[in-house]
């Protein structure tokens, strides 16, 4: 088993959402490892949820600020940012 861990590198998890930070990914890994301990798992899960909510809200607020700045000067970029937030194709 030791030979396998030396030869095969540990897979680094990637953020599935653009607003996820490295700190959230680390907490998610800790949460995954704590599945046997219900209290610790719930405590870490609560932290993950709080960090995700704050991070997502900050990311969306930054996008909205960019959209407001681009409204008059760069409408095509503005629509790309709207699509990124909503996930919908606007057809522009």
Model confidence at 4: pLDDT above 70: no
Model confidence at 92: pLDDT above 60: no
Q: State the DSSP code for 18.
A: T
Mean pLDDT (the chain, rounded): 84
Q: Average pLDDT in the 68-76 region?
A: 81
d(CA 5, CA 81): 42
Residue found under tokens 């629509």: 79
Q: So what's the pLDDT on residue 67? A: 83
Contacts of 32 (CB under 8 A, 6+ apart): none
Q: So what's the pLDDT on residue 90? A: 61
Segment 31-42, tens digit of pLDDT: 999 999 999 999
Cα-Cα-Cα-Cα dihedral sign, residues 75, 76, 82, 85: negative
So where are the chain's domains? 20-86
Q: So what's the pLDDT on residue 5? A: 61
Is the distance from CB of 18 to CB of 84 less than 8 angstroms?
A: yes
């Amino acid at each position: 088993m030791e030979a396998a861990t030396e030869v095969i590198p540990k897979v680094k998890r990637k953020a599935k959402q653009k607003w996820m930070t490295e700190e959230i990914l680390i907490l998610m890994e800790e949460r995954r490892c704590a599945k046997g301990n219900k209290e610790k798992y719930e405590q870490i899960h609560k932290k993950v949820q709080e960090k995700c909510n704050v991070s997502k809200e900050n990311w969306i607020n930054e996008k909205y600020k960019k959209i407001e700045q681009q409204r008059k000067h760069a409408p095509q970029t503005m629509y790309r940012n709207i699509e990124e937030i909503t996930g919908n194709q606007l057809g522009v």
